[in-house]
Structure 1
Amino acid sequence: MPELPEVETIKRTLSPYIQGQIIARVAIHHPGVIAAPDPDSFTRLLTGREIFGLGRRGKYLLLHLAGEYCLLAHLRMTGRLVLVDEAAPLEPHTHVVFTLAGGSTLRWVDTRRFGRLYLVKEGEVENTAGVGELGPEPLDPSFDAPALAAILAGRRRPLKQVLLDQRLVAGLGNIYADEALFAAGLDPRRPAASLNLEEVASLHGAMRAVLEQGIANRGTSIRDYVDGSGRQGSNQEHLQVYGRTGRPCPHCGQPLERVRLGGRSTHFCPRCQV
């Protein structure tokens, strides 16, 4: 699933090319991916609107439109939003095509069809698809170590599960949670409330570092993810523990292990992470 760095990368790669463009036509090939409003209204309301700017909230991509409308895209597992020339053939699993007045098309492609598109008024964004329930952005300057300590305090759930809870911290997913916990030297199975202040500060720094690295490397492409221009990221070449079960720890050489926490695979070093 695309996480914060991947959605941020899509936003940054699309923004220079679609900001200021007008949506000339909308073609829906699979209505099931339109969560709101109904497909006919979705097409009618989008046609002719200018894209003023792009934003991101957690794992949601936001396209701000004329008339105080906002198009929210939640990529889920395999969603892609890619800008291609209008003449390019449709690839399989292309469900929505936004033709821009400049001659290019913005295409919603999703193999598993779990992703969803929402067109709402700007004032309704916080009430859409749980956006208003999202926790703080981990790269926001206001999200400091004391803010993280307040989130962890009193919570007995394993650290990994707390970091994945979008109501507590927005944007972290399986990949970057594993990488942050390894960088901080913390066992993902530990109760969140068991961290001391030094460990909280270490985790806070590690979270920011792995997310910033992911953005700098244009995201992690393991399966389906590509950026807004259709290019893969390179952060998969820099992962320390995620997806490396049985390989030697890059720090101590101990074989890396995998357990399931809250139904999610979790990768860690049993020696370095305590």
Structure 2
Amino acid sequence: MPELPEVETTRRKIAPLVTGRTVLEIQHLNPEKYPDTELAHGRTVLEPQRRGKYLILPLAQGDAAPDRELIVHLGMTGGFRLEEGPHTRLTLRLSDGALYFNDPRRFGKVRVVRSGDYGALPTLAAMGPEPLGEEFGLEEFTQAAARAGAVKPWLLSQRPVAGVGNIYADEALWRARIHPAQGRLSEEQAARLHAAVREVMQEAVELGGSSLGNGVSNYRQHDGDWGGFQLQHAAYGRGGQPCPRCGTPIEKTVLGQRGTHFCPQCQVLE
């Protein structure tokens, strides 16, 4: 948490607050965790972008083309707020207002890089295609899936498709009727999973992502809004509850050091 749907919702919501504003100062007390942020000072924020789970704010000097990018990874509990709070780790002061980066568990990352220079961000540099874009091709996905090991860790690697994390991997695999530990997918399995990833991500984006727990230490938006996709979860977080498709209790296991939820009746390991 947060994954692509939550980051995309964040991008859409903060865009009107930052686009066209000048960065006056980025304040924080941890230059090792938030490196080179002073390079944003005096630059104008252009329309925010997103790549997988990363939020990217292009920065331009005057009327020139953007030459820097403010990269934000929300980590497990990061998010922007309109007011400073006890878990504020970084303040983005703009020519018209401010945003406060709130991160109770401190896994979020913020840094400024030269545009397109992701050498210090290897996951971003090697990220696969966007699941809702045309570049997420079935043929390439099928070929890679035929050689892959356990499918859930493979999805979480970000190489076959960008932005899929623990929640949406469980949900897509449940829809595709594929066991999370299944390796070397057949063409039919790969096609089902390809479609399921697209469907789950699209629906989650439309509902503003998933808000879990009390919404205080977990994801919610700067304006206090919660996501709505958690109400649609069929597998994730539903250990012991009946599968919505067959009624068999959802099982929880650990795979690749991640809690994993699946239906033992619908998702049989072959």
Q: TM-score, length-normalised on structure 2?
A: 0.91
**Structure 1 residues not aligned, in runs of 5+:** none
Q: Structure 1: how far apart are the matches of 2:26 and 2:138?
A: 45
1:151 to 144, 147, 165: 144
1:217 aligns with 2:207: yes
1:120 aligns with 2:113: yes
1:229 aligns with 2:223: yes
1:54 to 44, 48, 53: 48
The residue type equivalent to 2:26 in the other structure is V
Tell whether the 8 Å contact from 1:22 to 1:48 is kept in structure 2 after alignment: yes
For residue 69 of structure 2, what is the aligned residue in structure 1? 70
C-alpha displacement of 1:32: 4.5
**Structure 2 residues not aligned, in runs of 5+:** 62-66
2:234 to 236, 240, 258: 240
1:142-191 deviation line (CA, Å, top 9, x unaligned): 21221211221222x21111111123322100000000000111111211
C-alpha displacement of 1:53: 1.5
Q: Structure 1: how far apart are the matches of 2:129 and 2:10?
A: 20
Tell whether the 8 Å contact from 1:11 to 1:228 is kept in structure 2 after alignment: no
The residue type equivalent to 1:96 in the other structure is L
Q: 1:123 to 1:148 in 2, by over 3 A?
A: closer
Identity %: 41
1:167 aligns with 2:167: no
For residue 88 of structure 2, what is the aligned residue in structure 1? 94
For residue 9 of structure 2, what is the aligned residue in structure 1? 9
1:195-210 equivalent positions in 2, closer than 5 A: 195-210=185-200
Q: 1:229 to 1:147 in 2, by over 3 A?
A: farther
Q: Structure 2: how far apart are the matches of 1:253 and 1:154?
A: 33
C-alpha displacement of 1:30: 4.0
1:209-231 deviation line (CA, Å, top 9, x unaligned): 00011100101011411124342
Q: Structure 1: how far apart are the matches of 2:151 and 2:27?
A: 43
Q: 1:119 to 1:201 in 2, by over 3 A?
A: same
The residue type equivalent to 1:62 in the other structure is I
Tell whether the 8 Å contact from 1:70 to 1:120 is kept in structure 2 after alignment: yes
C-alpha displacement of 1:26: 2.5
Tell whether the 8 Å contact from 2:25 to 2:92 is kept in structure 1 after alignment: yes
Tell whether the 8 Å contact from 2:141 to 2:160 is kept in structure 1 after alignment: no
The residue type equivalent to 2:187 in the other structure is L
Q: TM-score, length-normalised on structure 1?
A: 0.89
1:129 aligns with 2:121: yes
Tell whether the 8 Å contact from 2:146 to 2:187 is kept in structure 1 after alignment: no
Tell whether the 8 Å contact from 1:33 to 1:114 is kept in structure 2 after alignment: no
Q: Structure 2: how far apart are the matches of 1:196 and 1:151?
A: 11
For residue 64 of structure 2, what is the aligned residue in structure 1? none
Q: Structure 1: how far apart are the matches of 2:50 and 2:224?
A: 19
Q: Which has the higher helix share?
A: 1
Q: Structure 1: how far apart are the matches of 2:98 and 2:147?
A: 49
Tell me the matched-pair count: 258
For residue 243 of structure 2, what is the aligned residue in structure 1? 249
